[in-house]
Structure 1
Amino acid sequence: MARRDAFRRLAGVAVLAGTLLSPAAQAEPGFSDFFVSHPTPMWMIEVASGDIVRANPAAQDFYGYDDLTALNIRDINLLSQSQIEQEIARAATAERNHLFMRHRLADDSVKVMGIYTQRMDYRGQEVLVSSLYDTSEFERSAERHYIAQVEEQVDLQTAQLRNAKRRQAWLAWGAALAQGVAIVILLSVLVRLRRAQADKRRLIEELSFRNRELERLSHAMAHLFQEPSRRLISFAQQLQRRLGDSDDDSTRIAVDFIASQSRRLSALVGDMQRYLSLDRMPFEPRRISPGEILDDVYRRNEALTELRQAQAMTVASPLPDVHFEPKRLALVFGVLLHNAWQYRDAERPLRVTVSATRLNQRIRFAVEDNGRGIAPEYRDQALEMFARLVPNSEQTPGTGMGLALVTKALRCVQGSVYIEPGPQGGTRVVFDLPTAE
């Protein structure tokens, strides 16, 4: 009998909810009064936010809170936030208008509530008008509906967990694969690095061996090679004195040839010795005055005696201080001035001009003359070792090592050397050095 009365009341609530929540009933002026005075708990929830915007006294008494309109449905409903949003969305689209929810009352008790709901416009707000009833009197029916709802939520959460685990598994496989690839790459780099280190050690050993060979060769040129050259020159001079005014022209020509070639051999050995000694010469750069170095070379170098006597050199502008080694700069100026005199034009007086210009952190020097000049196609070749652009003779002797010595002397400061056309078809040799600042 009690259960039949409970179901009868439930049916009455359902009919009441269907009648009151219909659009026609909501449009009548008496709906607001009826909403307030009806003994069935009722409230209105804003669709967008979930705020309880209105509750009748029956709902206020049943839940026991001081003011239901100060709460949000999330403060009462025990579902998760995402589940509540899904249920509100379903109710708002009329996908479901009869719900079962677990609500927490003010005394901290939990009730399974049946909810009939309908969407309506209330004072410009989209709300869900709900009629609520306690399902404890209809335990089995409510429990069945509630369990179905919970099972649906469990299935949803299980599917989400399954998808999350699947994503985590793919991420783990991807991370493992990336880690494997990284390990393979690191192993490959390590193998190549070890090979490069082994090659570097072999190269260092080879360079050390070559340097020792060059040192031995330089020593041999200074002593072993130079001594036979001096003896050849000495014996050739003795033969020339003994021949005197002899009529034996063929012998005199042979002796003269031996003497000239001995002097050439001695010059070649000497220049090679100077070239190799640049590697062993201590490089101690400091602030120096190129003008003072040039003046000292011009006055003291015996190879420039004729150039000095002809007063052929002028300095066009002050030469700024540079950061370099004095002996190397003296070698550079000596070679360039000697070349200018050696390859002068016989038809006009030689004029040699030394100048300097500042270019960022470098000083660019130029030694130019009005001599024979060098054809464009031979200018790079002239900077190489043993480069002779004219036949060797008594008038133009040489070994072809001059400009090669200049190039090597400047390498320690990354100095460049190149040849340009000079005035009146002569030669202009340009090189640069770091400034003293």
Structure 2
Amino acid sequence: MAWPCRLLICLMAALLWMTPPAKADADVTALLSTTLNNHSSIMLLIEPETGAILDANDAASHFYGYSLPQLRLMRIQDINTLGPDEVGAERRRAKAEKRNYFIFPHRLASGELRTVEVYSAPLHDGGGHTLLLSIIHDITGKTVADSELAAYRTRLEELLTRRTSEALEAQSRLRFWMTLGLALQTVLIVALVIAVIRRHAAVKEVEHEAHTRRRAEEKLAVANADLQRFAEIAAHHLQEPTRRLMVFSQRLAKLLGSPPNENIAFSLATIEEQASYLHALVRDVQVYLAAASPLGPMIANDPARIIDQIRADQRARFSEHDTAFQIDPLPPVLIDAPRLRYLLTALLDNCLRHARPATPVRIHISGQMQNGRSILRIADNGPGIPLEFRTRVLEVFEHLHSQADSQPGTGLGLAVVRRIVESCDGHILIEDSPAGGVLIVIDLPGETL
């Protein structure tokens, strides 16, 4: 069958040679359709470099089971079951005219495989393009030349061997990556298990520490409550002996009448004075212990109203010091009324107690609301407090002046004030007054009345 196929190829080449260049460049695919379309041999016109099927005849459409438009959209690689490398190698050999006869396995549209003889030869059109004309004969089940069949089988065996090798290599690579993936997964699982165990242990440890801390806090709270209760009871029981010391010292002074000497009078006066001081000290200790707990409803109270009450109750004492008040509008503060009264009383008492000798007392009370907080300022014209003592005077039993002064304090007044303010989520500062004395700044929660 080689001679008829070669004759057809020669005829096709002659037709292409006789075609004018301009026309051949445009109608080369149509030439196959118009000249050889009715021929019974299967013909494909192929672009050698890409394998694109440029045209086919009706016999090819009938054999492969694809319509002509479908075939013109396909590549020879879609039909030839050899791999791209093998098909490419065969195309390059055909292009170089080293071979024009092949045996290939072709797949039909139905999926059926057919063994075919392929006669291929390059065709040059007038435009300088090189095409490949392939004439195909179905030899499935037919006897062919032993040499060609042996070569065909050899190529198939080589292809099978190569693809089997590639499959084994791919399987080996897949097994390697699967093994590596399983190993990594195992490592991650182990690490996750270790992390979970450590986290569980850490949670247990934290829970144990939290439980231990709660127990310690509970014990501390109980101990503080016991200590608070003991101090309150002790202060309460100390009140009566101090009161009796004062009463009996006064009674003894009356019984003696005119003391026979100054030593007895001095001793009695000292006993009475110290008993009075001890009484005040025990009283302030009781107040300090109770300062952290509300003594009434925690509501918004007006400081100006409380100050008016204090001024009315201590009018004589303020008059004695020739005290002048300047009270600006004050914001309300969120605190119980009894402790607010004690706080303001203690601060005003300090203004009088530490006033300059023979100098009228001037007290300026102002305030403002800032971000929901009430800021109260109490300024006087006294001698002031040196910077290094402004923190110490807020502690318990801290005296700015000697207890030998005419009106010594217990050292608890400002400490009680600080305790009240801090128990209400506030804070207190001591600054310089514009009048030269002390400026007490109190920051407390505020609320609109």
Which blocks of at least 5 consecutive residues in structure 1 are unaligned?
A: 21-27
TM-score for both structures, normalised by structure 1: 0.77
Q: What secondary structure is seen at the aligned counterpart in 2 of 1:397?
A: coil
Determine which of 324, 349, 356 is the counterpart of 1:345.
356
Residues in 2 aligned to 1:75 and 1:285: alpha-carbon distance in whole angstroms: 92
The Cα of 1:350 is off from its aligned counterpart by 0.7
For 1:56, the equivalent position in structure 2 comes to 56
Residues in 1 aligned to 2:251 and 2:133: alpha-carbon distance in whole angstroms: 137
Map Cα deviations across residues 61-84 of structure 1 (whole Å, 9 max, x no partner).
4321113347556995799xxx97
Does structure 1 retain, via aligned residues, the 8 Å contact 2:361–2:382?
Answer: yes
Does structure 1 retain, via aligned residues, the 8 Å contact 2:47–2:53?
Answer: yes
Does structure 1 retain, via aligned residues, the 8 Å contact 2:394–2:415?
Answer: yes
The Cα of 1:373 is off from its aligned counterpart by 0.6
For 1:357, the equivalent position in structure 2 comes to 368
Percent identical among aligned pairs is: 25
Map Cα deviations across residues 37-62 of structure 1 (whole Å, 9 max, x no partner).
58454544996xx9x56242264343
The Cα of 1:113 is off from its aligned counterpart by 7.5
Residues in 2 aligned to 1:168 and 1:112: alpha-carbon distance in whole angstroms: 43
The Cα of 1:245 is off from its aligned counterpart by 2.2
For 2:446, the equivalent position in structure 1 comes to 435
| Worse overlay, 163-172 or 413-422 | 163-172
Residues in 2 aligned to 1:410 and 1:243: alpha-carbon distance in whole angstroms: 48
For 1:107, the equivalent position in structure 2 comes to 110
Q: Does 1:187 align with 2:187?
A: no
Q: Does 1:333 align with 2:344?
A: yes
For 2:294, the equivalent position in structure 1 comes to 281
Aligned residue identity for 2:388: E
Residues in 2 aligned to 1:258 and 1:92: alpha-carbon distance in whole angstroms: 131
Residues in 2 aligned to 1:274 and 1:353: alpha-carbon distance in whole angstroms: 26
The Cα of 1:265 is off from its aligned counterpart by 1.4
For residues 146 and 399 of structure 1, do their structure 2 counterparts lie closer, same or farther at Cα, with a shift above 3 Å needed?
same
Aligned residue identity for 1:342: R
Q: Does 1:259 align with 2:272?
A: yes
For 2:145, the equivalent position in structure 1 comes to none
User: What does 1:399-414 correspond to in 2, within 5 Å?
Assistant: 399-414=410-425
User: What does 1:215-230 correspond to in 2, within 5 Å?
Assistant: 215-230=228-243
Does structure 1 retain, via aligned residues, the 8 Å contact 2:281–2:410?
Answer: yes
The Cα of 1:290 is off from its aligned counterpart by 1.9
Q: What secondary structure is seen at the aligned counterpart in 2 of 1:420?
A: strand
Bigger Rg, which one = 2
For 1:68, the equivalent position in structure 2 comes to 70
For 1:169, the equivalent position in structure 2 comes to 182
Residues in 2 aligned to 1:339 and 1:290: alpha-carbon distance in whole angstroms: 18
For residues 398 and 151 of structure 1, do their structure 2 counterparts lie closer, same or farther at Cα, with a shift above 3 Å needed?
same
Does structure 2 retain, via aligned residues, the 8 Å contact 1:226–1:269?
Answer: yes
For 2:429, the equivalent position in structure 1 comes to 418
Which blocks of at least 5 consecutive residues in structure 2 are unaligned?
A: 14-20, 143-148
Residues in 2 aligned to 1:68 and 1:91: alpha-carbon distance in whole angstroms: 25
Residues in 2 aligned to 1:92 and 1:356: alpha-carbon distance in whole angstroms: 102
Residues in 1 aligned to 2:257 and 2:88: alpha-carbon distance in whole angstroms: 132
For 1:196, the equivalent position in structure 2 comes to 209
Cα RMSD of the aligned pairs, angstroms, is 4.4
Map Cα deviations across residues 56-115 of structure 1 (whole Å, 9 max, x no partner).
226434321113347556995799xxx97x7599779979x9999976422342447899
For 2:251, the equivalent position in structure 1 comes to 238
Aligned residue identity for 2:261: D
The Cα of 1:293 is off from its aligned counterpart by 1.9
Q: How many residues align?
A: 406
For residues 407 and 151 of structure 1, do their structure 2 counterparts lie closer, same or farther at Cα, with a shift above 3 Å needed?
same
Aligned residue identity for 2:56: N
For 2:382, the equivalent position in structure 1 comes to 371
Does structure 2 retain, via aligned residues, the 8 Å contact 1:368–1:428?
Answer: yes
For 1:23, the equivalent position in structure 2 comes to none
The Cα of 1:420 is off from its aligned counterpart by 0.3
Does structure 2 retain, via aligned residues, the 8 Å contact 1:113–1:132?
Answer: no
Residues in 2 aligned to 1:283 and 1:113: alpha-carbon distance in whole angstroms: 110
Does structure 2 retain, via aligned residues, the 8 Å contact 1:43–1:59?
Answer: no
For 1:312, the equivalent position in structure 2 comes to 323
For 2:16, the equivalent position in structure 1 comes to none
